[in-house]
Amino acid sequence: MIRKFAKYWRDSASLIVLARDQPAVQHDKYNYKVLVFKRTSNTSFMPNSVVFPGGGFDKQDASPGWESFFRERNVSNTALKSITQVDGARPYIFQTESSALLDRNLSLRLCALREAFEELGVLLVTEQQPQKSGFSKCLPLADIDSWQQKIHNGTASLQELHAALGTIPDVFNLYEWSCWLTPAMFRKRRFETAFYLAVLNEKPIIHPERHEVQEYFWDTPAALLEAHREEKNWLAPPQTYELARLSYVHDIDQLARFAAKRNQKGSTLLCPVQYNTADGVIFVLPGDDLYPSDYDYLADNPNLDKYGEQTQEMIRKQSKRLHRVEHKDLHHQAFYLNQPPLDDHLHVQGFNEDRLKKL
């Protein structure tokens, strides 16, 4: 079955992996690091960019064979159903178009897990009786290179890997985090991506896949953003926004509790809309005064150059509701949000007292 928007963009999933780690220097407040990697120059989409692990949705991710896989391992329907019950916003990527396919809330998590293993060798598993512990576990493999290549090349599946190991993929401790769509101006290469968060108690050994990964990094959100500003790397827009949100929370246990509490509140689709300005570019997001009403995610912005002779500050002062990213160039952005975050999420400017004080 061809999905409704398949001619316009591909579905994908990405995994934000956090791991407990001692601060590198005494004044560093973070007790965790974030896993990212730099794409190779041969990558077809955003070569040389620094990203979270992730990639395109594959038919194996939606295979109904997963239902029998879980059933044979005594994973209860109640446990699986709890993942699919979400009360908040549901972009189209989360809609399951056929009862013959696995529920999208499960298959997108499996996609994120598969891609994390393919690209970086991170295999997250859970017990025979799955527990929502809040933290995931990474299983080291002796023949990891062989399995990575077979799954990457399509000669084996993630389900076959878990069947061979006698393990269960940890869909239960993956937290729905956000959903992003490439702006409409990138017509030939667009992705709607579901982002998930995984939290680990220790950093696993990484096995980068040489065709896709130039190098990988473990670092704090603030350090990754600083390297971006100093032009030591280049982070794609969803990465800068998500790292900015994370940068204001220094404790991994608090983050895990927040993610678990927010997990079933949904994800508003974040599709940036561009406006040119005299001193750069603005990308507005849902809730901003300049965001198109009833946006179909397909049309070009007819007001692209409406404010082209005004500065970003001038335009900002004319707006009552702000949810935007102001770009001076590829490496320098400023985030503005003067209203409650969508979906009860972390505030991109760090105003999180009410959300975090009880955690």
Q: The domain spanning residue 93 has which CATH number?
A: 3.90.79.10
**What pLDDT score was predicted for residue 129?**
62
Same structural domain for residues 242 and 287? no
Domain count, the chain: 2
Strand, helix or coil for residue 13 = strand
Residue 5 inside a domain? The answer is no
- Partners of 18 in beta bridges: 34, 199
Residue 282 inside a domain? The answer is yes
Same structural domain for residues 35 and 110? yes
Residue 351 inside a domain? The answer is no
Same structural domain for residues 323 and 242? no
Which of the listed residues 213, 247, 266 is the one where a domain comes to its end?
Answer: 266
Q: What predicted TM-score, i.e. pTM, was given to this entire model?
A: 0.95
**What pLDDT score was predicted for residue 25?**
64
Residue 358 inside a domain? The answer is no
Three-point CA angle 122, 250, 345, nearest 5°: 80
**What pLDDT score was predicted for residue 251?**
95
What is the per-residue burial (b if ≥16 Cβ within 10 Å, else e) of 244-256?
A: bbbbbbbbbeebb
Same structural domain for residues 219 and 302? no
Residue 357 inside a domain? The answer is no
Residue 201 CB burial class (10 angstroms; 0-12, 13-18, ≥19):
middle
Give the structural domain span for 334: 270-341
**What pLDDT score was predicted for residue 142?**
87
Same structural domain for residues 138 and 49? yes
Residue 197 inside a domain? The answer is yes
**What pLDDT score was predicted for residue 131?**
64
Same structural domain for residues 201 and 291? no
Residue 35 inside a domain? The answer is yes
Spatial separation of the C-alpha atoms in residues 233 and 236, rounded to whole Å:
10
Same structural domain for residues 41 and 108? yes
Same structural domain for residues 71 and 158? yes
- Give per-10-residue mean pLDDT for the chain (359 aa): 78 98 76 94 78 95 94 91 94 90 96 97 84 85 93 94 95 97 90 97 94 94 97 94 98 95 96 97 98 93 96 97 97 97 97 82
Same structural domain for residues 254 and 322? no
Residue 276 inside a domain? The answer is yes
Which of the listed residues 217, 246, 266 is the one where a domain comes to its end?
Answer: 266
Same structural domain for residues 241 and 319? no
Same structural domain for residues 142 and 250? yes
Which of the listed residues 266, 297, 328 is the one where a domain comes to its end?
Answer: 266
Same structural domain for residues 259 and 182? yes
Nearest to 259 by CA among 124, 330, 138, 352: 352
**What pLDDT score was predicted for residue 44?**
66
AA identity, residue 249: V
